[in-house]
Structure 1
């Protein structure tokens, strides 16, 4: 078994999208039927990472720690190695950048 989907609910949709794009994710805007517009990025290996608007108080994703391995280089401002970051909602993001 392997994970194939991560969904983050946020009241800071635009800010979170920009943050995760700075890590190298490329989002497409999507909407399924009459559901909310949201953003989806397909990661290497096929996992989908989605950002959804938190439609109501208490709907936002709570404290989550995510880890990404990346080919991100200096063009994104990250040197090779491990970086501990926080997204706009305060989630801990562990970024491993290849050398």
Structure 2
């Protein structure tokens, strides 16, 4: 796979927003806080109360699932500090070692697969 770059050391694309719709908003907030996200409660105008986190140059928001809306099949991946401590209380669906890197697959409260790797920098 070839990475397209704007400059020699700068990626051409950068993820800047991720919004998840959650059946159990508070449980999802606690799950992602466990991974290291820090959320603030927000509401824009008459919109729903939700949580937002600004980490690593991106905004990650958790919104309540709308009535009649289904949870998607999004798969997320995060590099986290102290991987083993973070996954200890979580149920690991799968644990792999790829190129000497330990990867845990866990599920968030809405059943989305979340891939966790140790942050090295």
Name the TM-score class by shorter chain.
Answer: 0.7 to 0.9
Give yes or no for contact 1:23–1:72 (8 Å, CA) kept in 2.
no
Gaps (5+ residues) in structure 1?
Answer: none
TM-score by length of structure 2 reads 0.70
The structure 1 segments of at least 4 consecutive aligned residues displaced by more than 6 Å after TM superposition are: none
Q: Which has the higher strand share?
A: 2
Give yes or no for contact 2:83–2:117 (8 Å, CA) kept in 1.
no
Indicate yes or no: 2:14 matched with 1:2: yes
> What is aligned with 2:104?
83
> What is aligned with 1:96?
117
Indicate yes or no: 2:52 matched with 1:31: no
Q: Offset of 1:55 from its aligned partner?
A: 2.2
Number of aligned positions between the proteins:
96
| Higher RCO structure, 1 or 2 (CA under 8 Å, sep 6+) | 1
TM-score by length of structure 1 reads 0.84
Q: Offset of 1:97 from its aligned partner?
A: 1.6
Q: Offset of 1:73 from its aligned partner?
A: 5.5
Gaps (5+ residues) in structure 2?
Answer: 1-12, 89-100
> What is aligned with 1:69?
79
The CA RMSD measured in Å over matched residues stands at: 2.0
